[in-house]
Amino acid sequence: MLVIPVIDIRNGRSVRMVEGLEDKTVYYSESPLNMARLFRKENAKVIHISDLDGAVSGKRKNYELIKEITETVGVPIQLGGGIRTYEIAQQLINELGIYRIVIGTSAVDNIDLIRRLLDDFGKSKIVISVDARNGYLVKDGWGNQTDINAVEFALGMKMLGVQRIIYQDVARVGLLAGPDLAGTKQIAVETGLKVTAAGGISNYHDLKKMQELEPFGVDSVMMSRALYENKFPCQAIWREQEKIDTSLELPKVK
């Protein structure tokens, strides 16, 4: 199962959101770029960036920072947060070389945009974020609850041609309370989509339980807090080595 480290960016810093609530934001690092470099050294194959400022405002205030990460880290970047127009999506894919863009709110509000993005950039470039609370979608940076059933929404996206979704119960995000295994399995089985799971992974045992869902189409998992706080033994070994070997540097990608 592919593990995708998550870097949430707010005001130019690396943070952790808890349950999608702004007043519970925890700051981890002044430099998201350094976090991306660390995850790269820890052998991440893909890194996910959430532009939290973009998710709330729809504006690209972290554009230059994200550009620097994509140009220097040297692994595919998956990006979500505030991608609400065709022009923004085009810029991210064509100019920044973003591996995959993740659409959340706009998939709820602007189905025509999703159709156009799929037609012009292909199914492999577009991922739909299914952010749910109590089985129903939330949007606008998780700030607004809808009456849209998460599974029905995912089925609707499948009809448009979407092949992959990210599913997460936002009530578990940042709490290390364990993943929503039942909800993840349900949406994978009922939709037949490829599913990236997110939210609640706290340790190796949670990861093993999630791995049991691979036969149902859950092939990857996104994690943030568990990685930041060294919840995996191999991480602790690596980061201890970082303290004594300051010569480890990644070459810049030309």
- Angle subtended at Cα 251 by Cα 248 and Cα 254, rounded to the nearest 5 degrees: 170
> What pLDDT does 229 receive?
81
Token pair for residue 141? 């940076």
> What pLDDT does 249 receive?
45
- Report if residue 36 sits inside a domain: yes
- Report if residue 104 sits inside a domain: yes
Token pair for residue 94? 């064509």
- Report if residue 249 sits inside a domain: no
Q: Please compute the mean of the pLDDT values over residues 119-144 and round it to a whole number.
A: 89
> What pLDDT does 181 receive?
95
pTM of the model: 0.85
For residue 3, give every residue at least 6 positions away whose Cβ sits within 8 Å of its Cβ, in sequence order, or none: 44, 207, 220, 221, 223
CB neighbours of residue 230 within 10 Å: 14
148 in Cβ contact with 157 (< 8 Å): no
Q: Please compute the mean of the pLDDT values over residues 38-47 and round it to a whole number.
A: 90
User: Domain containing 79: what range?
Assistant: 2-244
> What pLDDT does 237 receive?
53
252 against 173, higher pLDDT: 173
Question: Which band of pLDDT confidence, cut at 50, 70 and 90, is reported for residue 183?
Answer: very high
pLDDT in tens, 188-227: 999 999 999 998 888 888 989 999 999 999 999 999 888 8
**pLDDT exceeds 60 at position 232:** yes
pLDDT in tens, 149-166: 999 999 999 999 999 999
- Report if residue 216 sits inside a domain: yes
- Report if residue 111 sits inside a domain: yes
CATH code assigned at 44: 3.20.20.70
Question: Which band of pLDDT confidence, cut at 50, 70 and 90, is reported for residue 252?
Answer: very low
Percent of the chain topping pLDDT 90: 52
Token pair for residue 198? 């997110």
- Report if residue 52 sits inside a domain: yes
- Report if residue 85 sits inside a domain: yes
Q: Which residues are catalytic?
A: 8, 131
- Report if residue 10 sits inside a domain: yes
Token pair for residue 29? 């690092």
**3-state SS class at 5:** strand
* Count: domains in the chain: 1
